[in-house]
Amino acid sequence: MTTTEFGRTVRRWRDRVSPESAGLPARGPRRAAGLRREELALLAGISVDYVTRLEQGRAANPSPQVVEALARALRLPLEERAYLYRQAGLVPPGPDTVPSYIPPSVHRLLDRLAGTPVAVFDAAWTLLLANQPYAALMGDPSDWRGHERNSVWRTFAGPRGRARQSPPERRAFEEALVADLRHTVGRYPADRRLRRLVEDLCAHSERFAELWESGIVGRHEVARKTIDHPAVGPLDLDCDVLSVAGSDLRVMVYSAEPGTPDAERLALVTVLGTQSLVD
């Protein structure tokens, strides 16, 4: 398949996805019901210029990460996702790699939790999808690229996030993340991107390298977090991680007990995030 045919496919499939079905507000008059290029770029986390060049056949050899991001943004079923990979000259991901496909049922779950901060991570804790309340609560991830989208990388080698932790809590959190990542490496030993993540973490963080060498294995369980939000202050929230049947996806959901000040502040964060999206 040629790059032009890849671009034509992306354009055709963009036209059939409405902004409402993708969780976006329909702003202003539209010539078609489908997504605009800037909306697809926003959902996929790539530049509008790159989407344009792909559709016009002026960009060659899109990476697996770009194809996967486009497949998620377009909400493709498995067969069409595999077709898009092959049009890009790539082999669709197999069972020996960390799954990153988000089934339609998970997309529908996020749609129904439109007022609740929700994010979807793969088994290596790489962020795949986040709704607007999550971005408003934890910081907008739309500009994050490569390792920046991985929670383990951001914990050991990236900027500090908004979660407040005491030194003992921080140490326990780091140990749990490394133990969980080793568990994932054991499940997907042939995944080259996963091996590269571990190698880069060992090279950039002495703390990670020390914990990795200890050989700890386990699962990261999240129960409660304190989030320091720049606009509304601290929020004490429940953080539940849900498993997706038949997949290693993790769906992270933040909530507060109804009627509490934390619930009021969380509602305000959601409103602020919606206003930011519409502006």
Question: Residue 38: pLDDT above 80?
Answer: yes
CB atoms within 10 A of CB 198: 19
pLDDT at position 274: 57
pLDDT at position 3: 58
pLDDT at position 98: 92
Q: What are 78's two structure tokens?
A: 């498995």
Domain of residue 239, CATH code: 3.30.450.180
- Is the CB of residue 160 less than 8 Å from the CB of residue 196? no
Clarify whether residues 74 and 20 are in a common domain: yes
Clarify whether residues 262 and 182 are in a common domain: yes
Clarify whether residues 156 and 238 are in a common domain: yes
Mean pLDDT confidence for 256-261? 94
Mean pLDDT confidence for 8-13? 93
Residue 99 lies inside a defined structural domain of this protein: no
CB burial of residue 121 (10 Å; 0-12, 13-18, 19+):
buried
Residue 96 lies inside a defined structural domain of this protein: no
Residue 124 domain boundaries: 104-278
Clarify whether residues 81 and 110 are in a common domain: no
Identity of residue 36: R
- Is the CB of residue 118 less than 8 Å from the CB of residue 251? yes
Clarify whether residues 42 and 161 are in a common domain: no
Provide the domain count of the chain.
2
pLDDT at position 195: 95
Give 91's DSSP letter. Answer: P
Clarify whether residues 23 and 159 are in a common domain: no
CB atoms within 10 A of CB 85: 19
pLDDT at position 27: 66
Among all chains, which residue has been given the structure tokens 């092959």? 86
Cβ contacts of 168 within 8 Å, gap of 6 or more: none
Clarify whether residues 21 and 75 are in a common domain: yes
Clarify whether residues 83 and 125 are in a common domain: no
Identity of residue 124: A
Helices within 139-249 (DSSP H only): 151-156, 167-187, 192-204, 206-214
Question: Residue 59: pLDDT above 90?
Answer: no
C-alpha to C-alpha distance for 189 and 185, rounded to whole angstroms: 5
Sign of the CA dihedral with 39 first, then 103, 151, and 257 last: positive
Question: Residue 72: pLDDT above 80?
Answer: yes
CA 77 vs CA 25, 71, 93, 97, 118: distances in Å: 23, 8, 14, 18, 21
Cβ contacts of 201 within 8 Å, gap of 6 or more: 152, 153, 156, 157, 208, 209, 212
Q: Mind listing the pLDDT tens digit for each residue in 124-178?
A: 999 999 988 999 999 988 888 889 999 999 999 988 889 999 999 999 999 999 9
C-alpha to C-alpha distance for 232 and 270, rounded to whole angstroms: 11
Residue 220 lies inside a defined structural domain of this protein: yes
Which pLDDT band holds residue 30 (cuts at 50, 70, 90)? confident
Q: What are 241's two structure tokens?
A: 């991680």
Q: What is the three-class DSSP state of 253? A: strand
Residue 183 lies inside a defined structural domain of this protein: yes
Residue 97 lies inside a defined structural domain of this protein: no
C-alpha to C-alpha distance for 210 and 228, rounded to whole angstroms: 29
Mean pLDDT confidence for 222-229? 88
**Closest by alpha carbon to 118, among 109, 130, 107?**
130
Domain of residue 44, CATH code: 1.10.260.40
C-alpha torsion 273→274→276→278, nearest 10? 170
Clarify whether residues 49 and 168 are in a common domain: no
